């Protein structure tokens, strides 16, 4: 029987101790690395949440982090712009290289890191300010000296929101729909002109149409930015990402081109997870 034999065949593919990190290929992106996590450990007090993960993030590609709840994917994502620094009791070991510099090295300003590596959260969280000021705010406090109107328009255009809000820029950001609010948050991130955008479940609070707009936007944005996205929606990972990493109980199980992960993964655990056998 097909279904039964599929579960028992290929004993050689049962997960090995070492995660499989596929060789780099240059089909997409620039062939350079935007970020490079090296043997990253994260502890929340005594809880070992991320256990020695090494993960190269390729420039101008979309990298998806998938895995069951509690596998460490959001924790790892937050390491990429030092968002875990603000969590009490957290301890981080290992290195995360950005332009060949460890962002955790002594003397590195986490605010400067977050200016280059922006973040979009699961729940849209616009400020209770006008649409215009939501976008302008970050740039303003970062001392942006250019033409603010132009920056706001450019950011809103890049976030595929401009046409919907250009006539009501002074209205509150909270007056927008959930999907529009999320794109506003993306525009706000873009206004700070980062290189990398981290997205933590950016579409999970949205309806399918708003969700697919975010996905289209991600594909558009990767021409100019590197995106790392955490998602529970495996079809979303399959649709938008270039590479996918599966995390499991704080460890990296497999990291490969998304196409390979979803058609022919090399680890049994990956096969089981993406085919819904456990997780």
- Other beta carbons within 10 angstroms of residue 178's beta carbon come to 15
For 181-238, the DSSP string reads HHHHHHHHHHHT--SEEEEESTTTTS-HHHHHHHHHHHHHHTTTSEEEEE-S-HHHHH
3-class DSSP assignment, residue 156: helix
> Rule CB under 8 A: is residue 67 a binding residue for another protein?
no
Q: Write out the binding residues for another protein, residues 245-264 only, by CB under 8 A.
A: 262-264
9, 93, 109, 216: residue in contact with another protein (rule CB under 8 A): 9
Closest listed residue to residue 211, CA positions, set 225, 197, 221, 201: 201
Q: Containing H/E element for 165?
A: helix 162-165
Our CB check for another protein shows the closer of 61 and 271 to be: 271
Least distance in angstroms from the C-beta of 49 to another protein: 23
Q: In angstroms, how far is CA 117 from the centroid of its own chain? A: 10
Reading the block at residue 67, the tokens are 């895995």
Q: Do residues 135 and 188 lie in contact, with contact meaning Cβ atoms separated by under 8 Å? A: yes
> Rule CB under 8 A: is residue 235 a binding residue for another protein?
yes
Least distance in angstroms from the C-beta of 57 to another protein: 23
Least distance in angstroms from the C-beta of 240 to another protein: 15
Q: Do residues 209 and 183 lie in contact, with contact meaning Cβ atoms separated by under 8 Å? A: no
Q: x-or-dash pattern for another protein, window 181-220, by CB under 8 A?
A: ----------------------------------------
> Rule CB under 8 A: is residue 14 a binding residue for another protein?
no
Closest listed residue to residue 71, CA positions, set 245, 264, 275: 245
Reading the block at residue 127, the tokens are 């400020």
> Rule CB under 8 A: is residue 10 a binding residue for another protein?
yes
Our CB check for another protein shows the closer of 8 and 46 to be: 8
Least distance in angstroms from the C-beta of 167 to another protein: 40
Reading the block at residue 199, the tokens are 């997205």
> Rule CB under 8 A: is residue 265 a binding residue for another protein?
yes
Our CB check for another protein shows the closer of 103 and 229 to be: 229
Least distance in angstroms from the C-beta of 278 to another protein: 8
77, 79, 229, 274: residue in contact with another protein (rule CB under 8 A): 274
> Rule CB under 8 A: is residue 277 a binding residue for another protein?
yes
Query: Which residues in this chain contact another protein in the complex, by CB under 8 A?
Result: 1-3, 5-6, 9-10, 234-235, 238, 262-265, 270-271, 274-279
């Amino acid at each position: 029987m097909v279904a039964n034999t599929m579960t028992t065949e290929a004993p050689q593919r049962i997960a090995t101790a070492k995660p499989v990190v596929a060789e780099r290929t240059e089909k997409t992106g620039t062939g350079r690395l935007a970020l490079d996590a090296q043997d990253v450990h994260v502890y929340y007090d005594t809880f070992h949440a991320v256990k020695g993960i090494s993960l190269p993030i390729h420039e101008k590609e979309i990298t998806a982090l998938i895995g069951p709840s509690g596998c460490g994917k959001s924790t790892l994502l937050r390491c990429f712009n030092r968002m875990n620094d603000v969590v009490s009791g957290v301890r981080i070991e290992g290195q995360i290289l950005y332009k060949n510099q460890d962002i955790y090295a002594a003397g590195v300003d986490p605010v400067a890191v977050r200016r280059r590596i922006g973040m979009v959260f699961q729940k849209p969280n616009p400020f209770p300010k006008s649409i215009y000021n939501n976008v302008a705010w970050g740039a303003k406090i970062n001392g942006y000296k250019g033409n603010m109107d132009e920056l706001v328009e450019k950011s809103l255009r890049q976030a595929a929101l401009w046409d919907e809000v250009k006539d009501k820029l002074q209205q509150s950001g909270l007056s927008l729909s959930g999907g529009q609010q999320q794109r506003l948050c993306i525009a706000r991130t873009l206004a700070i002109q980062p290189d990398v955008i981290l997205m933590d479940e950016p579409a999970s609070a949205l309806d399918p149409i708003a969700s697919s707009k975010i996905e289209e936007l991600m594909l558009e944005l990767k021409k100019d930015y590197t995106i790392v996205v955490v998602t529970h929606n495996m079809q979303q990972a399959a649709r938008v990402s270039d590479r996918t990493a599966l995390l499991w109980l704080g460890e990296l199980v497999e990291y490969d081109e998304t196409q390979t992960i979803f058609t022919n993964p090399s680890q049994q655990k990956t096969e089981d997870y993406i085919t819904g056998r456990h997780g």
